[in-house]
Structure 1
């Protein structure tokens, strides 16, 4: 039977993010709140210390004249200062406008201008340069606050420390200013503008209200999966709604968070921090899976045989357990042995204490989720979008179905429209797109539900399964419908060397694909197989083309005849955020990839 969560929290939620934070500081003052790297060591602060620093910064913003709902930008990677700045904006009744550090100068200027930011926090000189290059267009930007003490000029650009000093002076004159301001923030007041990185046109600013973020945190707390004894590792971009919702969850539940936004440090940091949970995009799990599989394959011999046998046994045990059947004693004993020899070592790579991972922002491959599950690592897939403050459904540690995105949050409604579209309703739905009334009207139904653009289905137990993007489905010239994500997911589960596999063929007579390889994984394979050269040379190697071709043949053996890949090619580069072909949350911008490779795709059909 599905779990029935208590929804009484809806009647007594904190009024806004500011009071939610201040309440947490009061309740958990002496407990650890955040830890972050300083050089090679990690520094830690309590909730009381975080509260003091946020109050000073918030008062500094008030001293500069920030008024309710006025926008303050943050252009930075994920770090403790980002969270301090965001919470200060919340406690000063402002609204945070998030800017990815990878966003170009032109789009940065557009976002800050479109949102009418009066102030902006910047991480370093590279972010400041973007503003200086477009200063004439940013006439309303009064002050830049730098995390880096070395780049302030004392006039237009001041340091975070200087902002805190302004706050100290303000609090001497107005000692209760922050508490007074916090109490006056309405639940339906603007909290955040997050600009979605669309594949075409200018990004749209999603207007998220205080009640939306508060609801998200309280709804996760109501599910009882996290409490103040947990430790989160946070690397996700805070400019993305997934990162923001994890902060809301922390305020609601009171656990500590270790923060380091450097993606290349994730695995090392997990070993040091030893968290109990982490949120991540599916690409992180795909890379970890590929790395472990390819490393074991390179060792060969007995180790590889034991590894493969372990996962064969782990999968059998999972199948029996999930079907409600008993596991025979010989299989139990085998499983216990392999848990000690193989699975415990896999878990140790992630710190050894992880209760579960939360996967979101894109579809998680069910086969990869099952592989981790066999090793005793639970990945709870969830679902949502920026327009609903990130979380709408999630699997629960006590009740989950791999391949689904779980059940609706308590207080969230989910329905499937006649055309199969998933639609959402609840306190977390956006108040529209900033300055974009027409786009807002298109995003909502006449009776007030959010159109997600995703195709899905609810099973008899209320679990949601996402089957693809409505706009991503295409029809071949033979009239057959193709769902690219399903085919792409199958290939990623088969081939540990792939980074991206993108399927095309709309209105064509067959399906084709573009392939990119994981640079680290393919470099390891090349070394073991006597192939040398840079990435762009490796992908042309006959050995590598033949190896990838074998995987394509395996894929075709699992597909309907009209879905099979007839032609494909490996691109001379992997997709990156910097190239504009991935969003900062690591989703493929399919339209951009297709436009960049239109001649190559056309050649498949000539």
Structure 2
């Protein structure tokens, strides 16, 4: 079967390699599994149900829910009747949800739980769109009603409708997370998604029909959604779990692969590093030695006999235990959405887990480039090589331009913004980067660069990523637009600060008090000075202010993709920022 539409992926799996665990999810203490034939039968009934309720070609249907089997079933059922899904992050505000629902003119909405229902119900306001739930909520219609309504539908008619869907038809509208302003609805066609799935298959070359994948990043984002369709295309069993269930899910599923954002891997690293505090004596020294060895590992390096012996010993004593904690069979991890600290990539490669850091955006469905699962060709600190069938070039001002079948149809109801973004067939990403020897490196966001009063440009993201390599720094935002120098707001990694305080004989009271402690402040300042040497003198961070709590999505300081919402943070930390520039360093 030729892959042209997103739903073709499921039918190819049915023909070539049907699985008993096509889609699986934990329900209570048990894992519920749907086979490939069961998935096909269910989505056909749901499609019939939609048609009987008047949902048809071009109609928009919203989904606000955590990852689940039902999420994908509804998505597939909508696709094969030509309807358009509109995913909404469960973490968005009511105001943002209301804008999306009204802007997209949704005719129906699905939610995953009571709190999501409350948010969508309030966001809909006077709109009469019905709401269905994936879980049992008193007084709320169940999605099962739609499936039951479609029982006994005309499958011949449905097959004809399915066959009439064209590859260039829009199948989803995804509203971007909006770090700089109002969200835009990115229209993606079947061809966009299928081209990404095909490119990922050619790029990763993972085994077909033998793997299990864990899915925990939100399906509302095209990164995870494209990943799930890739898993389905490679006949990989997909297991859904929440981030809070990650540790137990890895033990139970024993995944071979998953996709992650850097924040997830940072928490994993913190957990591994924190293990050292539970040990004493020679065991602690061995553990710290192995951790340091892993954090400095270079997969490209040719190792001598002594280095190989050290690595083998560390693997036997320590790294093997790390792999066991992750299920014992994990081998491939895709990372995207933000820059990954090089020490985390090195740690996983040292432990025998291959990491492919990638780069993309919703407008490109989403993958533009990615590292290869090849130790000889991986370039830690870069975002790899452009994906097959995706052209990348660098404009004169350093902006990354992209052209290919993965580039969006356009922004919904925004022809002017579409024309400003796609010029002569090239999508202007807004990111600054360099392409050397076919390897792409991101240096900053074009719109986030700022100029000091001395006329020097500062690219904050590249400085922030470097500073986060410190074991004591959790989050960073570099500031200084129009000022004489760059400064930074820093959220310390308080778990490591607590460990350091214990070693220094300093009584740890609370995060807020430790952020004001002169010795802790001096520690962070020393770390910043240590990393300043990697930058030009005009880029040096001259002053820092410590923030006593991590920035988060719920507070609106991070986008759902975990990127900094700089304007929000700057507004809330305005007093701290003002003090950073009151008395400038000599």
Q: Into which bin does the TM-score normalised by the smaller protein fall?
A: over 0.9
- Pairing 1:351–2:327 present: yes
Distance in 2 of aligned mates of 1:30 and 1:21: 11
Aligned-partner SS, 2:23:
strand
| 3-state SS, counterpart of residue 493 of structure 1 | coil
State the Cα distance separating 1:298 from its structure 2 match: 5.7
Q: What secondary structure sits across from 1:232 in the alignment?
A: strand
SS at match of 2:179: coil
Moved more, 364-373 or 44-53: 364-373
> Contact 1:354–1:377 at 8 Å: present in 2 too?
yes
Does residue 448 in structure 1 map to residue 425 in structure 2?
yes
- Write the deviation string for residues 184-206 of structure 1: whole angstroms up to 9, x where unpaired: 11011111110001124321100
Secondary structure at 1:32's aligned position in 2?
coil
- SS of aligned partner of 1:188: coil
Instruction: Tell me: CA distance 1:186–1:511, structure 2 relative to 1, closer, same or farther (3 Å).
Output: same
What runs of 5+ residues in structure 1 fail to find an aligned partner?
Answer: 1-11
The 5 Å alignment of 1:241-390 reads: 241-260=222-241, 262-297=242-277, 299=279, 301-311=281-291, 313=293, 318-319=297-298, 322-323=300-301, 325=302, 327-390=303-366
1:548 pairs with one of 515, 524, 542: 524
CA contact (8 A) 1:366 1:403 kept: yes
1:92 and 2:92 are equivalent in the alignment: no
Q: Which residue of 2 aligns with 1:80?
A: 69
Deviation string 1:531-559 (CA, Å, 9 cap, x unpaired) is 34443344334453343333233333544
Instruction: Determine helix, strand or coil for the equivalent of 1:392.
Output: strand
SS at match of 1:168: coil
State whether residues 193 and 406 of structure 2, in contact with CA within 8 Å, keep that contact through their aligned partners in structure 1. yes
Asked if residue 459 in structure 1 is aligned to residue 436 in structure 2, the reply is yes
Equivalent residue, structure 2, for 1:596: 572
**8 A Cα contact 1:109 1:130, kept in partner:** no
In structure 2, the residue matched to 1:438 is 416
Map 1:381-400 to 2 at 5 A. 381-398=357-374, 399-400=377-378
1:506 is matched with: 481
TM-score by length of 2: 0.93
Q: CA deviation at 1:508?
A: 0.9
Please give the residue correspondences for 1:213-232 in structure 2 after superposition, counting only pairs within 5 Å. Answer: 213-223=193-203, 224-232=205-213
Pair 1:269–1:550, CA change in 2 (3 A): farther
The residue number in structure 1 matching 2:127 is 138
Is residue 7 of structure 2 the alignment partner of residue 32 of structure 1? no
Give how far 1:183 is off: 0.5
TM normalised by structure 1 equals 0.90
Cα distance, 1:186–1:102 mapped onto 2, change above 3 Å = same
**Which deviations, in whole Å up to 9, do the C-alpha atoms of 1:8-32 show, x marking residues without a partner?**
xxxx842211233223233333432
Distance 1:93 1:253 in 2: 24
Residue in 1 that maps onto 2:146 = 163
**Cα distance in 2 for residues equivalent to 1:162 and 1:525:** 57
The answer (yes or no) to whether the contact 1:34–1:257 under 8 Å persists in 2 is yes
- Summarize the Cα distance change of 1:442–1:402 in structure 2 as closer, same or farther, 3 Å threshold: same
Picking from 135, 146, 153, the partner of 1:148 is: 135
Does the 8 A contact of 1:216 with 1:248 survive in 2?
Answer: no
CA distance in 2, matches of 1:518, 1:53: 46
Q: 1:311, CA displacement in angstroms?
A: 4.9
Inter-partner Cα distance in structure 2 for 1:166 and 1:524: 59
Superimposed CA distance per residue, residues 198-232 of structure 1 (whole angstroms, 9 cap, x where no aligned partner): 12432110000011111111222233224221111
Query: 1-side partners of 2:322 and 2:410: how far apart?
Result: 44
Identify if the C-alpha distance between structure 1 residues 135 and 478 changes in structure 2 by more than 3 Å, giving closer, same or farther: closer
Are residues 247 and 596 of structure 1, via their aligned partners in 2, closer, same or farther at CA, if it must alter by over 3 Å? same
Q: Secondary structure at the match of 1:583?
A: coil
Measured after TM superposition, the shift of residue 428 of structure 1 is 1.2
- After superposition, residues 552-563 of structure 1 pair within 5 angstroms as 552-563=528-539
RMSD: 2.2
* 2:468 match: secondary structure: helix
Structure-2 separation of matches of 1:535 and 1:367? 25
The verdict on how the C-alpha distance between 1:476 and 1:297 changes in structure 2, with shifts beyond 3 A counting, is farther
d(CA) in 1 for partners of 2:304 and 2:191? 51
Q: Give, in whole Å, the separation in 1 of the partners of 2:218 and 2:497.
A: 27
* Alignment coverage as a number of residue pairs: 578
SS of the residue 1:35 aligns to: strand
In 1: Cα distance, 2:285 partner to 2:501 partner: 22
Q: Deviations over 1:379-415 (max 9, x none)?
A: 1011110001111211221332212212222111111
Give the secondary structure class of the aligned counterpart of 1:149: coil
- Once the two structures are TM-superposed, the CA of residue 584 in structure 1 deviates from its matched residue by 1.3
**Displacement, 1:530?**
5.6
Query: 2:533, 2:181 → 1: CA distance?
Result: 39
Give the Cα separation in 2 of the matches to 1:379 and 1:50: 31
User: Which range moves more in the overlay, 557-566 or 79-88?
Assistant: 557-566
Q: How far apart in 1 are the matches of 2:202 and 2:531?
A: 42
> SS where residue 516 of structure 2 aligns?
coil
Distance, in Å, in 1 between the alignment partners of 2:497 and 2:381 is 28
Provide Cα deviations, 1:226-272, integer angstroms capped at 9, x if missing partner.
42211111100111111111122123211001101x22222332232
Aligned to 1:9: none
Deviations 1:125-180 (A, max 9, x none): 222222332444424x2x2111122334xxxx5211111110104x1xx1323322
Q: What are the equivalent positions in structure 2 for 1:566-605 lying under 5 Å apart? A: 566-605=542-581
The answer to whether 1:429 aligns with 2:410 is: no
